[in-house]
Structure 1
Amino acid sequence: MGRIASTLARLSSGPDATPRTIPELRTGDAPQIPAEAVRQVIRARRLRNRFFKEDLFADPAWDMLLDLLQAEIAQLRVPVSSLCIAAAVPATTALRWLKTMTDQGIFRRRADPHDGRRVFVELSPEASLAMRQYFAEVGPVGTV
């Protein structure tokens, strides 16, 4: 979990705690990732639970990143409650991670214009680009 926290911190800031400079997004900058590739990674992560204790692989930040990338590719909005379920940890833990990642600029929260009680979560443009570049660099193997 510490490794993921470090990676997330690097997404939002450099080693000297100054904001990280990420090139401005332009059309075509982000690699196109097939939705099926992300779905396969999510399925493979859940399959581990059939063979090992579920808490052994608790990695809510990565699970949330994967879920939001999959939703972005499918052009779906993800409510906070669904993202907490995708994290596969207790809701309080998922909400804590959601706050951390929002505070670091990795996630963006958007109010539902039709229902004031609901909030949607999405990847920031920088996080989306980072996830897409990650998938493009590691390819279909090794993204679990």
Structure 2
Amino acid sequence: MSQSKNRIEELEGILREGGVRVTRQRAAILKILAEAEDHPDASELHRRAKEIDATVSLSTVYRTLSALEQQGVVQRHAFENATARFETADAPHHDHLIDIETGAVIEFRSDKIEQLQAEIAAELGYDLVRHRLELYCRKRKD
């Protein structure tokens, strides 16, 4: 069984455990989320889901996202000056660079940054539990 199919079944199971029926429309949304390599907003999820099932409504997208968020399966990102974007919560830890001109969201991971944040927390007498880093940038013109 493919990793994508396993992930879709896992998401369906989580919804069912939360008392949410997995309809054909919701299954299409789950497929998009499981296979997404970006951070789609609700409108983009709706557009992609309609390619799978033309009956998917935007309200179904919002209700499904809300149920998945309540179950801790989906993370909502509220980047500055943009609509909320979504990704599955089980993605390996990463930070985000947001292009302020195009809205593109680039995932990255830096061991240097991770180490520095832990060191800063320790110097202040804390253990770092979790963090979120968003860098808002403009593409260089040189």
* TM-score, structure 2 as length reference: 0.42
User: Higher relative contact order by CA 8 Å / sep ≥ 6: 1 or 2?
Assistant: 1
* TM-score, structure 1 as length reference: 0.41
Specify the structure having the higher radius of gyration (Cα). Answer: 2
Give the structure with the larger strand fraction: 2
Give the structure with the larger helix fraction: 1
